Structure 1
Amino acid sequence: MGLPALLASALCTFVLPLLLFLAALKLWDLYCVSSRDRSCALPLPPGTMGFPFFGETLQMVLQRRKFLQMKRRRYGFIYKTHLFGRPTVRVMGADNVRRILLGEHRLVSVHWPASVRTILGAGCLSNLHDSSHKQRKKVIMQAFSREALQCYVPVIVEEVSSCLEQWLSCGERGLLVYPEGVKARNLIHARIEENIRAKIRRLQAAEPDGGCKDALQLLIEHSWERGERLDMQALKQSSTELLFGGHETTASAATSLITYLGLYPHVLQKVREEIKSKGLLCKSNQDNKLDMETLEQLKYIGCVIKETLRLHPPVPGGFRVALKTFELNGYQIPKGWNVIYSICDTHDVADIFTNKEEFNPDRFISPHPEDTSRFSFIPFGGGLRSCVGKEFAKILLKIFTVELARHCDWQLLNGPPTMKTSPTVYPVDNLPARFTHFQGDI
């Protein structure tokens, strides 16, 4: 082969693809720059947009916390990127997050990734807007009133105790296994539809409900009161959303509680001391059962839960879309761009927390708790879209902590776990642990 042929071959094999790649990068850069609002004089936030079409989604998925920490160190509390096919601004810090959370329906609107919308459905509470969201939330919130929570307490105690007995009988186990994707959703929908139809039959037959209405019953009765035809698909989507929000997030938080109480025996000791002070450590004492009043008195356990949620919030952030171009800390947020507010990063950078990486429940104890800044500690989000089930979650986690400390000792077989987010926070090794009956007294 002659020299010209070799040069032509090299050109086709190496140079031309390189030139095409560089051209694609340039066009991508121009596209990203052109998407800013030119009627606004403010600059875009700093940051990079990654590779053409793919943006920086792959880096974030593969590196997660390392990627986010690198971005935060390099660009600060507001930066631009390109995630899930959309130009995106990532926001953290109490003041910045406050503006986003209080700007719902005015500056921003909820806009979860397509995968989440597909799994949960467009008609669920998380994806509703304006009056539809307000009306649905008002109905569902009745299921989480203090009176409703009191009805749930005995059921939660029974379920938690049964689960712990299974763990104790198994000895060693991995604590978390998550179903995947649309196939799991379809299976869940089928089971939920069976329960919905059974619920409707009981309501139509006027069977007693025990004085405690769950969210599903409230939604069914709300439709009947308005003279509306029951929408089975909407009911299934709402039930799936509540199942995900009430199960996956609390499972994540409960796993983190097991982790920290296993790693910090002195904290577990203080938990047991508080339980003992309420007469709950003695398993034979049937006169002092758990109720809302007793649970509300468990202040130290409440601090343990807060500290766990500070370090490992189950949901790392929330997704919004800019309804119009607006200013945030000297930068423009263009209309149509996605906005992600970060819960985990906001906790990490909050100035009110001292020795941030230390697990220290005492930081939340009065008279000078470190959670006095409203938007520095946001494990349940905030504003109009704060978690509807947050009081339920707090009660469930308190009951879980009490029953765990009363009945179990345990050992983390792999030591401190590495955490992953997909979509909630969980240990990459599913936290294998060995459980034994708690025999001691304090």
Structure 2
Amino acid sequence: MSDFEFIIFVSLLMLTIFLILNLIKKNILHTSTLNLPPGNMGWPFIGETIGYLKPYSATTIGEFMEQHVLRFGKIFKSNLFGEPTIVSVDPGLNRYILQNEGRLFECSYPRSIGGILGKWSMLVLVGDMHRDMRLISLNFLTNARLKTQLLKEVEINTLWVLDSWQQNSPFCAQDEAKKFTFNLMAKHIMSLEPGEPETERLKKEYVTFMKGVISPPLNFPGTAYRKALKSRSTILKFIETKMEERISKLDEGNNNEEKREDDLLGWVLKNSNLSKEQILDLVLSLLFAGHETSSVSIALAIYFLEACPTAVRQLRQEHEEIVKAKKQSGEKDLSWNDYKKMEFTQCVINETLRFGNVVRFLHRKAIKDVRYKGYDIPCGWKVLPVIAAVHLDPTFFDQPHIFDPWRWQNGSATSTSGNNFMPFGGGPRLCTGSELAKLEMAIFIHHLVLKYHWELVDSDQAFAYPYLDFPKGLPIRIQHLK
């Protein structure tokens, strides 16, 4: 390096350092004039992330949250995921955040999530592109489609899984719930049949992919994250091959292929102007969203109901009456009217979602300076509305740490909790598959309680890592009902 080049290098380095220090100084001066919520920023860089992510029982808010709420209140500051953060267990602020999506706040998941789900994933998109992707999902998941084709597919896939269960042979209920929801989404999205070799190959890659989504983002050989990135590539190649087959057959005017418009891939290819990359990420994100949360919810229902035989008896009575009415009318398959008769089942679903909290918190970021209840939320700060904390707050739910589906009868829980029950989020990013998820749970519960009695083989419970999981897979044993 010449003397001149060295001088230029040193000058640029000093200028960069000056700009960084000046930016830090401005940020300190800016935040020092604000009334930030109380809290603890923890260690440099990592902040309090390790404590926040420490596993805890899914039916609690965890030691970290309990201690911080007791010490600082329902709105506090911290440093999480490497960024200054406002944490909210205040229901009013949570609603305010979700209702002001795109105006004051926007979705802001850790960069590693976008890296593995894709930059066009609905989970990480913001603004107009998210709106357009969401509309595609809504236009496909219409009420008419739910009432006819999807209800039928849900029942077929439920029976395919339940009929494979063997009496007195222990198995992991969590795996069976995942098998059910994966097969359903594979059929719903790409018309893949359960049990077929290509479906099983895709499922195997997807399991590896999911392990990486919920693992530390360490992109080194042998890590779960690196393996997940490799599986993501394999899954996208699979989807791309299906896309090319569809396009080719549509161009040939294949009448059988026209029927494939019934799945999401066919619908998107014919009714959207998305690029290939956008379609690939959309399909992958919907496979992720539709599979993971629903399977965990079903596993939670199996777990909670096993410990609540009174609820199982009332469920069984409700579903036996539905079957009896169907026999009198000569019908066999469940209809939408049958689904609407499952009133106590809906109470069980609501209570499972409230008590289990599959979606525990959301990632948001302030895009403007915001003032709420005298506190300032600086532009650029992360904001975490903790939905689970509200669902487990005795202010809104009587004895919240008890599984009590009867609290939802006659709208009693709804009237006392107001609009603080938000298992599917809220605002413009309200989960598009919420009605499908409840339909899946109801149909699965219908056939489960009519076919089997079940019990836990080994003690197990759901833990938040922060994503929910049963460490032992929820091992159960079933007995056929006579």
TM-score, normalization by structure 2: 0.77
1:36-51 aligned within 5 A: 38=30, 41-51=33-43
* Shift in Å, 1:59: 1.6
Select 1:62's aligned residue among 54, 68, 72. Answer: 54
Q: 1:197: which partner in 2?
A: 244
Q: 1:174: which partner in 2?
A: 172
Matched residues in 2 for 1:282 and 1:412: separation?
Answer: 32
Matched residues in 2 for 1:280 and 1:41: separation?
Answer: 69
Q: 1:183: which partner in 2?
A: 230
Matched residues in 2 for 1:115 and 1:356: separation?
Answer: 34
Select 1:219's aligned residue among 261, 268, 275. Answer: 268
Tell me whether 1:147 sits opposite 2:130 in the alignment. Answer: no
Q: 1:90: which partner in 2?
A: 87
Query: Partner amino acid for 1:97?
Result: N
Tell me whether 1:341 sits opposite 2:385 in the alignment. Answer: yes
Matched residues in 2 for 1:170 and 1:210: separation?
Answer: 42
Tell me whether 1:99 sits opposite 2:96 in the alignment. Answer: yes
* Shift in Å, 1:280: 5.8
Matched residues in 1 for 2:275 and 2:127: separation?
Answer: 20
Q: 2:160: which partner in 1?
A: 162
Query: Partner amino acid for 1:427?
Result: F
Q: 2:133: which partner in 1?
A: 136
Q: 1:438: which partner in 2?
A: 481
- What SS does structure 2 have at the residue aligned with 1:366? helix
Once the two structures are overlaid, the 10-residue window that deviates more, 111-120 or 421-430, is 421-430
Checking the alignment, whether the CA contact within 8 Å between 2:46 and 2:82 is kept in structure 1 is yes
Change in CA separation of 1:412 and 1:38 when aligned onto 2, cut-off 3 Å: same
Matched residues in 2 for 1:260 and 1:280: separation?
Answer: 27
- What SS does structure 2 have at the residue aligned with 1:191? helix
Matched residues in 1 for 2:249 and 2:453: separation?
Answer: 42
Q: 2:197: which partner in 1?
A: none
Checking the alignment, whether the CA contact within 8 Å between 2:117 and 2:284 is kept in structure 1 is yes
Residues paired across the two proteins, number? 403
Q: 2:179: which partner in 1?
A: none
Checking the alignment, whether the CA contact within 8 Å between 1:352 and 1:371 is kept in structure 2 is no
Change in CA separation of 1:407 and 1:46 when aligned onto 2, cut-off 3 Å: same
Q: 1:118: which partner in 2?
A: 115
Tell me whether 1:421 sits opposite 2:464 in the alignment. Answer: yes
Matched residues in 1 for 2:322 and 2:139: separation?
Answer: 30
Checking the alignment, whether the CA contact within 8 Å between 2:140 and 2:264 is kept in structure 1 is yes
Change in CA separation of 1:186 and 1:421 when aligned onto 2, cut-off 3 Å: farther
Q: 2:71: which partner in 1?
A: 74
Cα deviations by residue, 1:232-259 (Å, 9 ceiling, x for unpaired):
2221211111111110000100000100
Checking the alignment, whether the CA contact within 8 Å between 1:49 and 1:82 is kept in structure 2 is yes
Cα deviations by residue, 1:403-425 (Å, 9 ceiling, x for unpaired):
1111122111223x332234531
Matched residues in 2 for 1:33 and 1:349: separation?
Answer: 40
Matched residues in 2 for 1:382 and 1:197: separation?
Answer: 36
Checking the alignment, whether the CA contact within 8 Å between 2:424 and 2:434 is kept in structure 1 is yes
1:298-337 aligned within 5 A: 298-337=342-381
The share of aligned pairs that are identical, in percent, is 28
Select 2:441's aligned residue among 392, 397, 403. Answer: 397
- What SS does structure 2 have at the residue aligned with 1:351? coil
Checking the alignment, whether the CA contact within 8 Å between 1:413 and 1:433 is kept in structure 2 is yes
Cα deviations by residue, 1:34-81 (Å, 9 ceiling, x for unpaired):
746737854111111111111111122224522222222222211111
Checking the alignment, whether the CA contact within 8 Å between 2:367 and 2:379 is kept in structure 1 is yes
Q: 2:200: which partner in 1?
A: none
Cα deviations by residue, 1:208-250 (Å, 9 ceiling, x for unpaired):
5559733323322233xxxx4x522221211111111110000
Matched residues in 2 for 1:40 and 1:52: separation?
Answer: 18
- What SS does structure 2 have at the residue aligned with 1:376? coil
Cα deviations by residue, 1:378-436 (Å, 9 ceiling, x for unpaired):
00000000001001101111111111111122111223x33223453122221111122
Query: Partner amino acid for 2:443?
Result: I
Q: 2:190: which partner in 1?
A: none
Change in CA separation of 1:382 and 1:73 when aligned onto 2, cut-off 3 Å: same
- What SS does structure 1 have at the residue aligned with 2:86? strand
Checking the alignment, whether the CA contact within 8 Å between 2:261 and 2:267 is kept in structure 1 is no
Checking the alignment, whether the CA contact within 8 Å between 1:148 and 1:213 is kept in structure 2 is no
